[in-house]
Amino acid sequence: MEVWKRNLYILWFAEFIVLAAMSLVVPFLPLYLSLDLGMHDQASIQRWTGLIFGANFLTAFIFSPIWGKIADKSGRKMMLIRSGIGMAVVTLLMGLVTSPVQLLALRLLNGVISGFVPAAIALVSTNTPKEKIGYSLGILQSGSVAGSILGPLMGGLFAEWMSFRHIFIVTGVLLFIASMLVIVAVKEINKPQPKEQTAQVEVQAESDFSRIIHISPLPSLFITGFLIQFGMMSTNPFMTVYVQELWHSSNFISLMAGIVISSSGIATMIFSPLLGKWSDRIGAKYVLLFSLLGAAVFFIPQGMVNDVWTLMVFRFLLGMCIGGLLPSVNALIQQYAPAGMESRTFGYSNSALFLGNLLGPVIGGILSGTIGLNSMFLLAGTLFLVNTIWVKIRLHPHETPRTLLKHMRM
């Protein structure tokens, strides 16, 4: 088997483990705060959920470009190992906290050392033939989503049998296993050149950013990624609370929340590779546009449902479209990134994603306690519609709807 294919399959499995591990308990933060940390006021729980969920992304936003620059010098595999082992240790400690403040502090620390998935994306995109990048990133995305599917389901089942504190221990062990898998099995093909060979082209961080930000359409893609994550994360952390409102029963809340959360993931896992192949055939910018429009269409009705089962249907339809979002953005970033600065470019892109991951839960937590969770879904859908218009203007400025539909049928 070619090395790039072997790396892809191994990293698919590693990402599957990482996302399954993280999804075991993170979607259930409101229940952890209530059942294990003694919080009872619903508005306070939603505010703390937003803060704790978003804290990880505050420090990740700051440190992602730094890790990206280091990766361009020392290699992407090293970043995978650093992130995996670091998150394993911090996650184990999360099971020992006695207050929301301690959990918040550990989430901040986790953001400093996190970045397993971005590092995997950077390694795959720089070690894969150009004509296979869309397909490879789609496959990689399906691994993340497969883990995100299994994680909430397992977390919901485990929550019926053990405390959330014990689930954190299981999570840490799984993260350590993923790190060992990378150490043993992943081989980086396009390693960074020794420093003496690249000294003449080394520039300061400010120059890196200046060079990257002036390459069109990279800034537009950074904004697009930010808006995608902001829209998703303004509602995702509160899905458990929303399911509680719709389920009208105190039985099997964790399990039902896990099923609803996983429904979109199942669709994303199925459609990510298909959309990746479609991206290689017609172009990532077209898949991105159509996926954004579909996400807007299927997001808005989620704020109008009256039962869990209807919500599950729209979450599945939304998941189909999610499969074409970030893989398309990443494929386009790889296409336009300056040679030798791929990881740095992904670092700035990831900072934009992390900023969306940070502001989405925090602002969502504040607004949901004021206007209600139903309205948050309407706002998120509207934001995806705005993002669709933005991508049309920036990436398809001269194309008519008829031309766009023609590409869709190719």
Give the integer Cα–Cα distance in Å for 112 and 245.
35
Average pLDDT over residues 33-60: 82
- Type of residue at 118: P
Measured CA distances, 136 to 271, 283, 346, 406 (Å): 13, 14, 16, 25
Residue 88 structural domain:
3-188+213-408
Looking at residue 159, its pLDDT comes to 76
Q: How confident is the model at residue 22 (pLDDT cuts 50, 70, 90)?
A: confident
In a domain, residue 131? The reply is yes
Q: pLDDT exceeding 90 applies to what percent of the chain?
A: 26
Looking at residue 183, its pLDDT comes to 93
In a domain, residue 193? The reply is no
Each residue of 293-334: pLDDT tens digit? 999 999 999 989 988 999 999 999 999 998 889 889 988 988
Lookup: tokens for 402:
């008829």
Average pLDDT over residues 119-140: 84
Domain count of the fold of the chain? 1
Average pLDDT over residues 177-186: 92
CATH code of the domain covering residue 174: 1.20.1250.20
Residues in the chain: 410
302-340 exposure pattern, b = at least 16 Cβ within 10 A, e = fewer:
bbebeebeebbebbbbbbbbbbbbbbbbbbbbbbebeee
Contacts of 279 (CB under 8 A, 6+ apart): 134, 135, 138, 286, 287, 324, 327, 328, 331
Do the beta carbons of residue 83 and residue 119 sit within 8 Å?
yes
Q: For residue 248, is pLDDT > 50?
A: yes
In a domain, residue 197? The reply is no
In a domain, residue 67? The reply is yes
Q: How confident is the model at residue 114 (pLDDT cuts 50, 70, 90)?
A: confident
Looking at residue 196, its pLDDT comes to 45
Each residue of 327-358: pLDDT tens digit? 899 889 888 888 777 778 888 888 888 888 77
Looking at residue 198, its pLDDT comes to 44
Looking at residue 203, its pLDDT comes to 46
Looking at residue 88, its pLDDT comes to 94
Looking at residue 289, its pLDDT comes to 93
Q: For residue 121, is pLDDT > 90?
A: no
Looking at residue 197, its pLDDT comes to 45
Q: For residue 176, is pLDDT > 90?
A: yes
In a domain, residue 8? The reply is yes
Give the integer Cα–Cα distance in Å for 87 and 235.
24
Q: How confident is the model at residue 199 (pLDDT cuts 50, 70, 90)?
A: very low
Lookup: tokens for 2:
């070619």
In a domain, residue 358? The reply is yes
Each residue of 66-88: pLDDT tens digit? 888 888 777 888 999 999 999 99
In a domain, residue 208? The reply is no
Mean residue pLDDT of the chain comes to: 84
Looking at residue 202, its pLDDT comes to 46
Return the minimum-mean-pLDDT range out of 45-54, 59-68, 204-213, 215-224.
204-213
Do the beta carbons of residue 145 and residue 272 sit within 8 Å?
yes
Q: How confident is the model at residue 190 (pLDDT cuts 50, 70, 90)?
A: low
Specify the higher pLDDT residue, 361 or 123. Answer: 123
Prediction pTM value? 0.73
In a domain, residue 399? The reply is yes
Neighbours of 389 (CB within 10 A): 13
Each residue of 262-299: pLDDT tens digit? 788 888 888 888 888 888 888 889 999 999 999 999 99
